[in-house]
Amino acid sequence: MEKRKGNQPTQLLEGLCSFLRAYIFSVLSIGPMPRHIAFIMDGNRRYAKNRNLEDGTGHRVGYLALTNMLRYCYELNVKYVTIYAFSIDNFKRRPEEVQSTMNLMQEKIEGLIQKDSIVNKHGVRVYFIGNLKLLNNSVKISAERAMKATAHNSKAVLSICMAYTSTDEIMHAIEKSCKEKQDEFRILDMSGAGYGLIGLGGIGTDNGKSLINLKDVEEHMYMKVAPDPDIIIRTSGETRLSNFLLWQSSSSLLYSPRILWPEIGFWHLVRAILEFQRNFAYLKKKPKQSLVGLLVVNLLISGFVLVLCFLLYRCMHGSGLIFLVSLPLMW
Ligand SMILES: CC(C)=CCC/C(C)=C/CC/C(C)=C/COP(=O)(O)OP(=O)(O)O
């Protein structure tokens, strides 16, 4: 009984926050919305180091930040989310560190399979993207189980890039495409039907046609499960892509807030989307639209947030005067 009473203010606050988010999201939706957001979750170890926390704590807090981000994305109806969870280069870290990161990943992947997990709650299908052969056996089995367990979910797609780099993805796609073409030739060779069906003069001939084309390669990219990302968010202020989605990011907005991944929050996502909307015409090569709509969106969000903060402050402290005085500092 006591427990329920103690939880009431928290529940009330949570309800208020989700109402506030719903309002802001509906205002944001006036503008063009991203279909696919990708995250480079940079700065987990630095977060722990800056706070003298144990090794690995940064990644645990980082996972909490990730679940919040996913929730906001799904509330916003962003259908595709991709995360850079572990790069092939990360295997070069100290073996104990790699092992403890893998243990954490496995624990979290197992968590995704649970009925009440964030992905099952929102009907999200999970894909593990990358050279999964490089993962240790138990993590690989968990990843495969999670893909199978969520295969019936169809509302959204979460791509978890593990043992991934873009160069590896591109090499893999080219190798697969060449192998596929070689197999086609072999079958035609054996049948004696000639190469007319695939429009080529056979292996080794130079008739001006490529052996493989763009479509073949794209067909074998790991990331073919999602459209190209509209926004890539990389924390810790870094503006490099670090071998992440290089093939897919030619028209993506890169947003790099100067915070470490565990510190990422709702407002960073809102800012990234506003930035995407501001640059939409440039990114998508569409004719420029009037900025009035965006201005209205900004004003509506800012006005609403200010009024709400003012009311909250009044409820908690009796007077809103200090709030109004400290407003310029907060903004
Ligand atoms: C379900 C699932 C797979 C969850 C992933 C959880 C999670 C937060 C992974 C982060 C992994 C990672 C190597 C981040 C980069 O930070 P860093 O370690 O490079 O930190 P630094 O930038 O401070 O060095």
Question: What crossing angle do the helices spanning 57-75 and 95-113 adopt, rounded to 10°?
Answer: 40
CA of 105 to the centre of ligand 1 (A): 9
Looking at residue 64, what is its pLDDT? 97
The residues, any chain, with a CB within 8 Å of residue 316's CB and separated by 6 or more, are none
CA of 84 to the centre of ligand 1 (A): 8
Residue pair 230/276 in contact by the 8 Å Cβ criterion: yes
Q: Which of 294, 272, 316, 308 is nearest to 31 (CA)?
A: 294
Q: Which residues are catalytic?
A: 42
Q: Which residue has the tokens 């003298």?
A: 52
Rounded CA-CA distance 65/268 in Å is 12
CA of 135 to the centre of ligand 1 (A): 15
Looking at residue 331, what is its pLDDT? 38
Q: Which of 183, 180, 188 is nearest to 213 (CA)?
A: 180
Q: pLDDT 10s digit of each residue in the chain, 331 long? A: 344 445 777 888 888 888 999 999 999 999 999 999 999 999 999 999 999 999 899 999 999 999 999 999 999 999 999 999 999 999 999 999 999 999 999 999 999 999 999 999 999 999 999 999 999 999 999 999 999 999 999 999 999 999 999 999 999 999 999 999 888 888 877 777 766 656 655 555 555 567 889 999 999 999 999 999 999 999 999 999 999 999 999 999 999 999 999 999 999 999 999 999 999 988 887 766 655 666 666 667 667 777 777 777 677 766 555 555 554 444 3
> 275: how many CB neighbours lie within 10 A of its CB?
15
Residue of the CA atom closest to atom 5 of ligand 1: 85
Looking at residue 298, what is its pLDDT? 64
Q: Is 46 in the pocket of ligand 1 (CB under 6 A)?
A: yes
Looking at residue 315, what is its pLDDT? 72
**Ordered alpha helix ranges (H), 39-165:** 44-50, 57-75, 95-113, 118-121, 137-149
Instruction: Quick: pLDDT tens for 86-100.
Output: 999 999 999 999 999
Q: Which residue has the tokens 């979750």?
A: 41
Instruction: Quick: pLDDT tens for 101-147.
Output: 999 999 999 999 999 999 999 999 999 999 999 999 999 999 999 99
What is the position in ligand 1's atom list of the atom closest to the CA of 160?
A: 3
CA of 293 to the centre of ligand 1 (A): 37
Q: Is 62 in the pocket of ligand 1 (CB under 6 A)?
A: yes
Rounded CA-CA distance 331/324 in Å is 11
Residue pair 79/157 in contact by the 8 Å Cβ criterion: yes
What is the position in ligand 1's atom list of the atom closest to the CA of 49?
A: 23
Residue of the CA atom closest to atom 22 of ligand 1: 43
Residue pair 223/169 in contact by the 8 Å Cβ criterion: yes
Interface confidence, given as ipTM, is: 0.96
Q: Which of 71, 35, 78, 41 is nearest to 59 (CA)?
A: 41
Q: Which of 47, 68, 69 is nearest to 56 (CA)?
A: 47
